[in-house]
Amino acid sequence: MSLHVFGNILTGYGCAANNRGETEGNITTLQKLLWKGNVHTTVSSEAIRWALRYYWQANGVEVNRFWDEEKDDHRWRDANWKGWSNETGKTYIDDDLLGYMKAEGAREEGEKGTTSKRRGVLENSRAISTTPYAGDITFNARSGVKDSTSLYGTEMHATRYQYGFSMTPERLRDKKRCLNALDAISGLGEVAGNHSRFLYDFSPEAIVIRISDDPAPRILYCFEESDGNITAHDLVRKVESGDILREELYIGGLASEFSEVKAMCLPNCFPGIKETVDVCKQVIKEKLGIKEDA
């Protein structure tokens, strides 16, 4: 049976004004969805994937699609993914974990188009705010040329976000890249258009990781916030019912302090995010036979 690694992330509390939706007049809006009967803000999975790729690039892990700061645009090392044509070809971490797709139409009438694609091994869900959006907007004035002033507004949301991820390391060309994925998720900073006016830390303040041969995650969106209190009652219910084995869970950060989590006396609870991820990486190495110098 294959080994699966699932996770659910809860960010810290902050003022978010990122991942823009459609602009309405001079108001820069946030993306929103109806979640459990209320309007919540959301950050797209694409924005999170962009930030993961940028994390690897910034930390010296070679990526295929890299961001050129000078040109303010993406560039490719292998735009046709030639390295995937044979088992010994050079491949890149972002193509291996996140996948790729390029569809080309037929060159002549009657011919079929071609598609180069690889399904991503690392899948992540949309990030959803833990509290409903109350409609906060900031209004601003920006001076321009003489006798010209720009008036604009920005929707903001003071909240936390949670999102989940899933990967099956054995599907990777290079299995140890799953360890790079955990490093990136635990160290994720700016996501979705953050800039100097709206810095929002997207790194985990609470993390739940499940390492299992069960193909279903069962831990996605397991956090709930009510009156400023974060709980994980749904996660506890699934452990108590036997749907999730106690030894499969690795809980770190704020989640390790929840009273309902403490009451379960789980074997793998840690106060820090980095400690939790380091333990999980070691477990994965042992289960998959990944050597330190591999």
DSSP track, 154-173: EE-EEE-EEEEEEE-GGGSS
Residues 6+ apart with CB under 8 A from 109: none
Residue 261 three-state SS: helix
pLDDT surpassing 90 at residue 104? no
pLDDT at 58: 95
pLDDT at 1: 81
pLDDT at 271: 97
CA distance 163 to 40: 13
Q: Of 77, 116, 121, which Cα lies nearest the Cα of 96?
A: 121
- DSSP-derived letter for residue 233 is H
- Residue 280 located in a structural domain: yes
* Total domains present in the chain: 1
Residue positions counted in the chain: 294
Please state whether beta strands 249-253 and 269-270 pair in parallel, antiparallel, or not at all (unpaired): parallel
Q: How far is CA 267 from the centre of its chain?
A: 26
* Site of tokens 């635990």: 186
Q: Could you tell me what percent of the chain has a pLDDT over 90?
A: 71
Backbone angles phi, psi at 219, to 5 degrees: -120, 5
Count of beta carbons in the 10 Å neighbourhood of residue 188: 19
Burial group, residue 95, by CB count within 10 angstroms (0-12, 13-18, 19+)? buried
Most confident range (mean pLDDT) of 1-5, 108-112, 142-146, 280-284 is 280-284
- Residue 21 located in a structural domain: no
Q: Could you tell me what percent of the chain has a pLDDT over 70?
A: 87
pLDDT at 16: 87
Asked whether the beta carbons of 238 and 220 are under 8 A apart, the reply is no
* Site of tokens 């810290």: 12
- For residue 68, the enclosing domain spans 4-15+54-105+113-127+158-288
- Residue 174 located in a structural domain: yes
DSSP secondary structure of 30-76: BPEEEETTEEEEEE-HHHHHHHHHHHHHHTT---SEEEETTTTEEEE
- Residue 243 located in a structural domain: yes
pLDDT tens digit sequence for 61-83: 999 999 998 888 999 999 999 99
CA distance 88 to 79: 18
pLDDT tens digit sequence for 6-34: 999 999 999 888 666 566 677 888 899 99
pLDDT surpassing 80 at residue 112? no
pLDDT surpassing 90 at residue 60? yes
- Residue 237 located in a structural domain: yes
pLDDT at 194: 52
Burial group, residue 173, by CB count within 10 angstroms (0-12, 13-18, 19+)? middle
pLDDT surpassing 50 at residue 287? yes
- What's the sign of the alpha-carbon dihedral 106, 112, 116, 122? positive
Longest dimension (CA), the chain: 70
CA distance 45 to 187: 17
pLDDT tens digit sequence for 198-237: 788 999 999 999 999 999 999 999 999 999 999 999 999 9
Work out the mean pLDDT of the chain and round it to a whole number: 90
Q: How many CA atoms lie within 13 A of 236 on its CB side?
A: 15
- Residue 216 located in a structural domain: yes
Model confidence at 275, in pLDDT bands (50, 70, 90)? very high
- Residue 152 located in a structural domain: no
pLDDT at 294: 46
CA distance 179 to 157: 32
CA distance 205 to 272: 9
- Residue 229 located in a structural domain: yes
Model confidence at 197, in pLDDT bands (50, 70, 90)? low
pLDDT at 200: 87
